[in-house]
Amino acid sequence: MKFVVMSDIHYISRRMMLEGTPDNIRMQPDVSEQALKQACETDGADVILITGDLVDRGDRPSHEDLIVFLRQLKQTGKRIYVTTATHDFNHHKAYRRKYGDTQAVFKESPWDLPFFDRENAVYKELTADASGDMTEEACAPVLEEVCTPEELWDMYREFGRDDAFSVCESAFSYCVALDDNLWCLMLNDNFRNEECMHNVSVTYSPACLRWIRSLVKRAQQEGKTLIACTHHPLLPPSPAYKIGAGDRDMRRAEVGHMLADIGIKLVFSGHTHFADIGFMQSRRGNLLCDITTPSVRFYPPRYRVAELTPGSTVIDCRCVEVAVPEGTALPEEDRDLTAYYRRAMYEEYAAKMKKLPFPANRIITGMRAGHLLPLVKRAAGLTPEECGAIREKKIFDLIMNLVFNMLGGDGPYTPDTPEYKFFMGLAAVGDSVVGAQPFYDLYRKKLKGYTLTQIIEPLLCNRFTPDNDARFDYTQAPEPLYPDAAFTSRAGEIVMALVCLAAIPLAKTLPAAVSVGLPAATLLHRIKSRKNPPQPERY
């Protein structure tokens, strides 16, 4: 059974674009439509699964126009199944784009409001006409009606709900048969259990979990393979994402543990715009594979084509690049959409760095790897030739490459490259210093329990299941949970030893427990942690 998985289409109706809308926004509906048409042309794939964020701002015109386009594709014989997510009813950004972007400031927290509320919204124009002649009234955004989750459930019923053999109405979720042997759960995760999850973590209602459990049992009895599609990933596609997003934007581990223990083994998700294939093991030892699909409208613009053989747990899964829509002219320096979105993202963050206060802006944009080589050269084991190859590279460019690796998966900086050794050596020094200072536990808590090594290595390369083109058994984890560190450093012990020596003269004026005992205790703590290192939240 071959099928296509797409996510985060972020469709924008052309009716939402008024005079003055930037060209990069005007091309977005063309890109979304190109991705959908391209997916429908996949040989042997008659099913398209879309895991949420169908539109960009939750406005009704975009939903209506997307439904019209999906109907046209469905007339070609394709089966299209969708689930909705946060952007589809995103109440605080429903306006027509005019002269750049606009932000909505709410009198109350937008997270607490179920859908668009005009009375509580105050709109603020971020950019205006370049000439400055436009009045504030002329630049004001045009408010648009948005849809509630209940309305979307009815609007998209012909794309899944009507074909479903089992439906959980209260959870806006359903199950369809992709063929005689394969069932697919299309799960909406809008429910927030305030009592158990403190209203911060996207999850499923108790009724939905009971429904999922009943379908798993039924599939086992009838000998069917059951997979699932949902919007938010069940495990972080990268430790860096987990740290940056927090629990409001990312499920807690308990949700994945519950689904794994219920019997779900393979999930397709989106939301993060990352290309990632990861595994988690529940506390009961049950394994779950989460395949995250990138957005078709941001870097990297891709969707997935997956193939499952009946009676087998081996899956073929590859990513496909979205082609440039016919009639769309990209800048000369961009050969395709991937290059276009990569350059736009680089320029966006470069502009943000330049706006930082002096001298931070100069340091971040001007620092080169050569400035840090004295700190990491020995720890990383860099040869003179490797130091020469990396010396003149800008730190900002190297960090942006890590960001692109994180989004696109399968980074090129394998252990034999100077970039890998440089960053891993830097992480080893950082872990050593952090682990030897008095605020060690507090610092590790801020990093969700990860070490710098565990955060950085996945951004450099993928040494396990490829994130883009892979053939693997989704019931067998091919990688250790936390790989061993590539390099170690004694920088922390040296720093704390110097602190102890410097504190000895102060023992006459300060209590010895403070001036000498505290540094000594943290040094012993560091030595002990080497033998029994703490672990991050288990996935």
Segment 127-143 mean pLDDT: 55
Question: Is there a domain that residue 506 lies in?
Answer: yes
Segment 78-104 mean pLDDT: 75
Residue 236 belongs to domain spanning: 2-90+146-321
Task: Using CA atoms of 250, 254, 260, 264 in order, give the dihedral in degrees to the nearest 10.
Answer: -50
Segment 521-527 mean pLDDT: 68
Of 126, 145, 164, the residue at which a domain comes to its end is: 145
pLDDT at 483: 61
* pTM given for the model: 0.89
Segment 40-64 mean pLDDT: 94
In a shared domain, residues 409 and 309: no
Evaluate if residue 503 carries a pLDDT over 80: no
Band (109; pLDDT cuts 50, 70, 90): low
In a shared domain, residues 377 and 455: yes
In a shared domain, residues 302 and 385: no
Evaluate if residue 324 carries a pLDDT over 70: yes
pLDDT at 225: 96
Question: Is there a domain that residue 344 lies in?
Answer: no
In a shared domain, residues 256 and 299: yes
Question: Is there a domain that residue 220 lies in?
Answer: yes
Q: What percent of the chain has pLDDT over 90?
A: 54
Evaluate if residue 439 carries a pLDDT over 60: no
Band (21; pLDDT cuts 50, 70, 90): confident
Of the candidates 476, 496, 28, the residue with the CA atom closest to the CA atom of residue 277: 476
pLDDT digits (tens, 9 = 90+) for 393-402: 999 999 999 9
In a shared domain, residues 96 and 58: no
In a shared domain, residues 31 and 84: yes
Question: Is there a domain that residue 345 lies in?
Answer: no
Of 145, 164, 187, the residue at which a domain comes to its end is: 145
Segment 431-438 mean pLDDT: 73
Q: Look at 243 and 339; give whichever has higher pLDDT.
A: 339
What is the dihedral sign for C-alpha 139, 145, 149, 153?
Answer: negative
Band (131; pLDDT cuts 50, 70, 90): very low
**Residue 526 neighbours by CB distance under 10 Å:** 19
pLDDT at 535: 60
Q: Look at 107 and 492; give whichever has higher pLDDT.
A: 492
What is the DSSP annotation of 100-142?
S-EEEEESS-GGG-SS--GGGEEEEES---TTS-S-HHHHSPE
Band (421; pLDDT cuts 50, 70, 90): very high
Segment 379-391 mean pLDDT: 94
Band (194; pLDDT cuts 50, 70, 90): very low
C-alpha distances (whole Å) from 424 to each of 248, 364, 365 are 30, 20, 21
Mean confidence (pLDDT) of the chain? 85
Evaluate if residue 476 carries a pLDDT over 70: yes
Tally of domains in the chain: 3
Question: Is there a domain that residue 539 lies in?
Answer: no
In a shared domain, residues 397 and 491: yes
Question: Is there a domain that residue 348 lies in?
Answer: no
In a shared domain, residues 153 and 275: yes
Question: Is there a domain that residue 141 lies in?
Answer: yes
Structure tokens at 187: 């799960």
Q: Look at 256 and 292; give whichever has higher pLDDT.
A: 292
In a shared domain, residues 484 and 516: yes
Evaluate if residue 93 carries a pLDDT over 80: no
Alpha-helix runs per DSSP H in 42-90: 60-74
In a shared domain, residues 502 and 438: yes
pLDDT at 459: 94
Alpha-helix runs per DSSP H in 198-286: 206-222, 239-245, 253-262
Q: What is the DSSP secondary structure assignment for residue 77, as one 8-state letter? A: T
What is the dihedral sign for C-alpha 452, 458, 461, 465?
Answer: positive
pLDDT digits (tens, 9 = 90+) for 346-377: 999 999 999 999 888 889 899 999 999 998 99
Of the candidates 362, 354, 426, 364, the residue with the CA atom closest to the CA atom of residue 390: 426
In a shared domain, residues 107 and 84: no
Q: How far apart are CA 508 and CA 363, in angstroms?
A: 41
Question: Is there a domain that residue 62 lies in?
Answer: yes
Band (197; pLDDT cuts 50, 70, 90): very low
Segment 141-159 mean pLDDT: 87
In a shared domain, residues 198 and 62: yes
Evaluate if residue 198 carries a pLDDT over 50: no
Structure tokens at 58: 């939750």
Could you tell me which residues come within 8 angstroms of residue 210 by beta carbon, excluding any fewer than 6 positions away? Answer: none
Q: How far apart are CA 275 and CA 34, in angstroms?
A: 20
Q: How far apart are CA 188 and CA 156, in angstroms?
A: 13
For residue 195, the domain's CATH number is 3.60.21.10
Evaluate if residue 128 carries a pLDDT over 50: no
